[in-house]
Amino acid sequence: MADLERDGQELSARQQYQTLLAVSAAIVAHRDLGALFHELADRLHQVVRFDLLVCVLHDATSNTMRLHVLESTEPIPGEAPRPVSVEEDPAGVVFQTQHPLIISNMAEENRWPQFSERAKPYGVNSTCALPLTTAHRRLGVLGFGCKQAGAYDTVDVDFLQQVANQVAVAVENALAFDEIEALKEKLQQENVYLEEEVRTEHNFGEIVGESAALRGVLKQVEAVAPTDSTVLILGETGTGKELIARAIHDRSPRRDRTLVNLNCAAISVGLLESELFGHEKGAFTGAIAQRMGRFELAHQGTLFLDEIGELPLAIQAKLLRVLEDRRFERVGGTQLIEVDVRIVVATNRDLQKLMQEKLFREDLYFRISAVPITIPALRDRGNDVHLLAEYFLDKFSREFAKPGLELSSDAKQRLLEYRWPGNVRELQNTLERAVILADGLTIRANGLQLPATKPNGDALPAGMLPEKFSWDGSLEEVTQRAAGHVERILLESTLRECQWNKTRAAERLGVSPKTLLAKIRAVGLEE
């Protein structure tokens, strides 16, 4: 009898040894944890009773225990459980104490009532949890679950801990590989992004000008750049808001990291959330792979959100949460991602008016407007017009191989008189066109192809009072008729300056878009 018992013990020891060798072979063969645990389950069934094999990892960011891999002998009921705090789960106790834990009868277990509830759908009546720890760090817990009560005993712990020690090395290697892949992916995305940035000219190349208005802006930039405060850049279209954002980044402690740009008006509403926060594979139709958003790309750098006034309210709420918590979840994900990002935003919209119209959140406005910087319009920068014109003239002369070009005195005067509704961007386009079309060494006023101007610098309206305008009638009647014509002139002139963008035209005229549309229809202008 003693010989039979000894032979049984030797057989069991040999099986355990062979199983450990098989575990080692599986670890070498598999880099994916799901595939590894599937093979481990097959191997371990020969020497260990279990219906459930789980890997629970510790998430240092949220200090929670998160189910990473679940291998079951039967179909898994419902969705996998969400992460739980360390204190709410026996896996958390094992992780903290680094001691194995056996629960022989779940029906009698009352220390973790929530865990008992989570275990019910699986029919588990006994468990054994072992620490997953390497020489470098604590990772989490390897857990066995069995429908039979009393399935595990202290004599099983030594062997199971040996298994857990090997699995810990595999888990650490897999996590390290995932981290390397994530960093590699981020680097690739940053390279793609930076290549696009190199191909896309940053508005004006560099800040040009010496007017008092511009010097005031640059003084504000110098003051706010070294801080991490959120900056709100205000100004008309084409004034150089992105250029100021870049100047803030280049003078900040984050200058060696990436400045990531996102034009909120250029992305469709359906894709904005994914662009900002990224998405998980399968989060929506077309999401064939995990993708990082702009917040992750800008980690430890600066994120510039242009045209923030165009953000829909639903995205505004999520943006506010990220600004306050510095944490977010990818679309379709459950894991919180923590980022360290400096935020700079810009708009040409009147955010105060948008708040009154319930189109922009007040709490978000107060969160982003800690340091507002208003960029002056080009028409308010005096002789900067000539300095910028000379800068663009030199730039495009070299680019199009037309050296020696210069502006005539009448061209310079025309540049100074024009109102520049498109600001520096319009000036840039004007000089580019003039250089391309120049057929001599001197660019004259007519070569700029700008609308004629009156002495006060205002562009001439598209029409005047009709030639056969009737002056008959009372003062009030004539005034009303004239006012109608003047209103049409003003509307058409403003719409032309704004390139028929009704939103910008309404802002410039100080009326709502709805009112502007009604007036356009009333005076018979084309929409």
521: alpha, beta or left? (left if phi > 0; alpha if psi -120 to 50) = alpha
Q: One-letter amino acid identity for 310? A: E
The tens digit of pLDDT for each residue in 405-415 reads: 999 988 998 89
Q: Are residues 209 and 345 in the same domain?
A: yes
Of 154, 130, 160, nearest to 142 by C-alpha is 130
Say if residue 309 is in the same domain as residue 420: no
Count CB-CB contacts under 10 A for residue 103: 22
Domains in the chain, number: 4
What is the pLDDT averaged over residues 327-343?
Answer: 88
CATH of the domain at 513: 1.10.10
Q: Are residues 430 and 338 in the same domain?
A: no
Verify that 76 and 27 share a domain, yes or no: yes
Identify whether 299 is part of a domain.
yes
The percent of residues in the chain predicted with pLDDT above 90, rounded, is 35
Residue 471's pLDDT band (cuts 50, 70, 90): low
What residue has token string 């800068």?
Answer: 391
| Higher per-residue pLDDT: 63 or 498 | 63
Same domain assignment for residues 153 and 207: no
Q: Is 506 contained in some domain?
A: yes
- Could you tell me if 241 and 132 lie in one domain? no
117 and 164 inside one domain: yes
C-alpha distances in Å from residue 11, one per residue of 5, 7, 15, 47, 111: 10, 6, 6, 11, 38
Residue with tokens 């306050």: 324
Q: Please tell me the least confidently modeled range out of 6-15, 40-49, 67-76, 380-389.
A: 6-15
Q: Are 258 and 298 in contact (CB under 8 A)?
A: yes
Name the least confident of 9-23, 70-84, 302-316: 9-23
Alpha helices for 369-501 (secondary structure H): 384-399, 409-417, 423-437, 445-448, 475-497
Please count the other Cβ atoms lying within 10 Å of the Cβ belonging to residue 112. Answer: 20
Any idea what DSSP says for residue 376?
A: P
Chain centre to alpha carbon of residue 428: 30
Mean pLDDT over residues 412-441, rounded? 90
369 with 399, same domain? no
CB proximity list for 286: less than 8 A, separation 6 or greater:
none
What is the C-alpha separation between 390 and 395, in angstroms, rounded? 9
Q: What is the CATH number of the domain that holds 30?
A: 3.30.450.40
Do residues 357 and 397 share a domain? no
Q: Do 238 and 423 touch, CB atoms closer than 8 A? A: yes
Domain boundary among 347, 374, 401: 374
Band (pLDDT 50/70/90 cuts) for residue 183 is low
The reply to whether 196 falls in a domain is: no
Q: What is the pLDDT of residue 434?
A: 93
- Please tell me the distance from the alpha carbon of residue 504 to that of residue 254, in angstroms, as a whole number: 34
In whole numbers, what is the pLDDT of the chain averaged over residues?
Answer: 82
Rounded to whole angstroms, the Cα distance separating 251 from 260 reads 15
Grouping H, G, I as helix, E, B as strand and the rest as coil, residue 157 is helix
Tell me which residue has tokens 């308010």: 380
Structural domain harbouring 416: 386-448
Of the ranges 95-104, 281-290, 415-424, which one carries the lowest mean pLDDT score? 281-290
Amino acid 332: pLDDT? 83
Query: In this predicted structure, what is the pLDDT of residue 190?
Result: 62
Alpha-carbon gap, residue 362 to 222, rounded angstroms: 28
Pair 203, 425: CB distance under 8 Å: yes
Does position 143 have pLDDT exceeding 90, yes or no? yes
